Structure 1
Amino acid sequence: MGLKVSKHRVDHGEGSFLVAGISGVVDLFTSPKLWTELVVEEIDEGAFLVVLDLERVESLDHHGLGVLAGALARVRANGGALALAGVGETVLDALELARFDEIIPIADTVEEAIAMASGEEPAP
């Protein structure tokens, strides 16, 4: 299965979040597409508030983790924030193994991820 990225904006507070819904497998073959669509086309063009909806990601290998690390570095270098939403068990295992869960906020929903990235406490 290939990789698909859908993107839309969500206004929140004083900023506009890029919400990127990713579906498929993120690996050696698909990570260049994710890098281009997320980092080159969005973050490098000024999208520094980012939520990645990973609900439909089947698996994520170290190439995908590299894309996340690069995206996080560029977002933070510009004073922004990145959070993850809808992370399934398989993807969460990869994130925890690489300890990404310690540096990137992970929420159940896009709305909670936006709140976390904004420095707000998610609603109970």
Structure 2
Amino acid sequence: MIIRRISLPLLVALALAGCANGDSAGAPAPAPSAPPASSAPPAPTEESAPVKPSAGGTTTLTGTIAAGVEPNCLLLDEHLLIINDPAQRAAAKPGASVTVTGRVEQGMMTTCQQGTPFIVTTLRAN
């Protein structure tokens, strides 16, 4: 019984001592460093043409397709190309210079972790 009474205060004292980090008493802990700033999106290349909205909500994009960070994800500027036509999909390869027509789908969920979803209706190799 006596051992229990002595060991509890001893354990509490050791636990509190283990929390001390050797700084002077009352000194505030240093603030955590800020997370690194995210990198800015790449600037449009000379080959990229600006987004051209058309009648009916369709948009035309021209540029070079790039591979996304996830497998089978294709990007044109900051747009994630969603291509449902197998023939168009076969022509869409990273490095290909293309003109695509379609529409932006802001709220669409994808497995690709980058780019604004863009539903492609036509794709033409340049």
Same fold (TM over 0.5): no
Give 1 or 2: higher helix fraction.
1
Q: Which has the higher contact order (CA 8 A, sep 6+)?
A: 1
TM-score, normalising length: structure 1: 0.26
TM-score, normalising length: structure 2: 0.26
- Structure label with greater radius of gyration: 2
